Amino acid sequence: MVESKVEIVVRGAIVEAVVTQAFVNKSDRATEATYIFPLPHDAAVSAMSIKIGTKTIKAAIEKRAEAQRRYE
């Protein structure tokens, strides 16, 4: 990781955090990463996207069990 930035907006009881991270892979092989969000039980991830060069991949947000099943 070469850079990390967090922007937080509070609207009453709702807090929105946007995390932006930049990575560099100097290897000729793909790198696999697993994101684990240590959130309170009443929190949620609402969106995630990854930009690689000019391409943007938007993640499908799923419940943990379904996401694990699809990954495996």
Rounded to two decimals, the pTM is: 0.67
CB-CB contact of 49 with 58 (8 Å): yes
**Confidence band of 5 (pLDDT split at 50, 70, 90):** very high
State mean pLDDT over 8-18: 92
Query: Has residue 30 got a pLDDT over 80?
Result: yes
pLDDT, averaged across the chain: 88
Rounded alpha-carbon distances, angstroms, from residue 36 to 13, 33, 55, 64, 68:
23, 10, 23, 10, 12
Query: Has residue 35 got a pLDDT over 80?
Result: no
State mean pLDDT over 58-71: 86
The whole-number pLDDT of residue 8 equals 95
The whole-number pLDDT of residue 33 equals 79
